[in-house]
A and B are shown apart, each in its own frame.
Chain A
């Protein structure tokens, strides 16, 4: 007899696609801000430092202010979300968005207006924004995986997958938008994307193991997720295999295709949203009952 017929799984319908998109946009926003800061600060790539930061802020604005805010049942009560900073990771997510957004804003402002005090503190603001941007996908992934009650999500792999996917998108989108700069930069960007997708593949195999050796709810949730077109094609083929093959081809041949980075960014974006959406939709099974 199948698990389906014997177990009364509980499925909480708490989260829908807006949260998946929020996690994706927030992660990419953070990655953009971090990467733009590094490229500007270390390599004086000012166009990326300026517009890359602005793009990251745009993602954050869309994710935090629009999607998350509208997804709350009572958006104006979000003011209370800073109430429980000692114990609630959600409060920290809000703080990280604010820090990353604020830091990036103060870093970008001197491109447009001359404020000497801002210019002297630019490194500090940029660093804060970049660090918060880096931490955002880690914390939001950690939040999703924290409840022990949802066994499919309950693994430290999720924050890692969210982080690597976000940076994978940024590493392909930056050269696609601003040009790779030089042959060596194209090589580094592509290597980063290739490595990111290798790590995601390894992480996914470990996640598969976790789901199959874990509690019955995790097995069932994974099984349900596995059957979906969205997962098979959206995440596995478009989001994982295609970027792995394309970046691998560019890495081993040194042939950086003109459309390559753009295609990589779009594919990873699709894969990222497919994975997050499938996880939120099919991960939500708990089995607390004795029969």
Chain B
């Protein structure tokens, strides 16, 4: 089995938000409520005139020691065979403990208004029929079909690279092994599988 991970190159991200739009379309996430599985933070730093703008795409880190997984009382948060962290919509009780535990702000509530709106837009093709806590799935259904996650396939700046961290020939494995791509907040010990070049 693979151990999927992602590298995000902050040097090349142009902040176009194409990844957010692609993800929302692919996964029917509630953009109308300003809730996203992947967002691009637009951060201004420094004091005038020495200011700089930085774009930081965020996503579920599919941690190897996920805080969300251990805290979930209903085992609605699960790890699939490729190490991706998923949510079973049917057994999620919406206690939001996983939202509180996730250090990366990766989760949000897909509430009843969002479900109704999604049904209105997508009808029978709606992917979200019940209230649940939602987050990035590394587009597992696309990956199963041999495709890349929607955000990776869409990024015009090639700022996102997806692959198997256990395959020494994959680009992600090489970047991580060389120490070029690093996790955010490794001190939290969640062992993220999304790495950043910055």
Contact = CB atoms under 8 A, between A and B. Distances in A.
Interface in B72-95: 72-76, 91-95
A80 B75 contact: yes
A169 to B, nearest CB: 25
Contacts of B97: 14, 90, 143
Contact of A73 (B71, B72, B111, B189): B111
A217 B71 CA distance: 22
B163 interface: no
A81 B77 CA distance: 12
A73 B190 CA distance: 26
A150 B104 CA distance: 11
B95 A90 contact: yes
A148 B66 CA distance: 11
Interface string A133-147: 000000000010011
Nearest to A94: B73
Contact of B185 (A89, A94, A288): A288
B45 A6 contact: yes
| Chain A facing B: main interface SS | loop
A77 B72 contact: no
| Chain B facing A: main interface SS | loop
A74 B188 contact: no
Contacts of B45: 6, 291
Question: Which among A11, A89, A148 has the highest number of chain B CB atoms within 10 Å?
Answer: A148
A146 B68 CA distance: 12
B54 A291 contact: yes
Interface in A88-139: 88-91, 94
Nearest to B110: A73
A90 B97 CA distance: 9
A233 B76 CA distance: 41
A14 B101 CA distance: 10
A149 interface: yes
Interface residues of A, number: 37
A1 interface: yes
B191 interface: no
Contacts of A84: 72-75
A188 interface: no
B103 interface: yes
Contacts of A148: 67, 103, 188-189
16 contacts: A10-B105, A12-B100, A14-B99, A73-B93, A73-B95, A73-B132, A73-B133, A84-B72, A88-B71, A88-B72, A90-B71, A90-B73, A148-B67, A149-B102, A149-B103, A289-B58
Question: 8 tightest A-B contacts by CB?
Answer: A73-B94, A149-B103, A80-B74, A77-B93, A10-B105, A90-B73, A14-B99, A14-B96
Given A73-B96, A88-B72, A146-B101, 15 more contacts: A12-B107, A72-B95, A73-B111, A73-B132, A77-B91, A83-B73, A88-B70, A90-B97, A143-B97, A149-B102, A150-B100, A288-B104, A288-B105, A288-B184, A289-B43
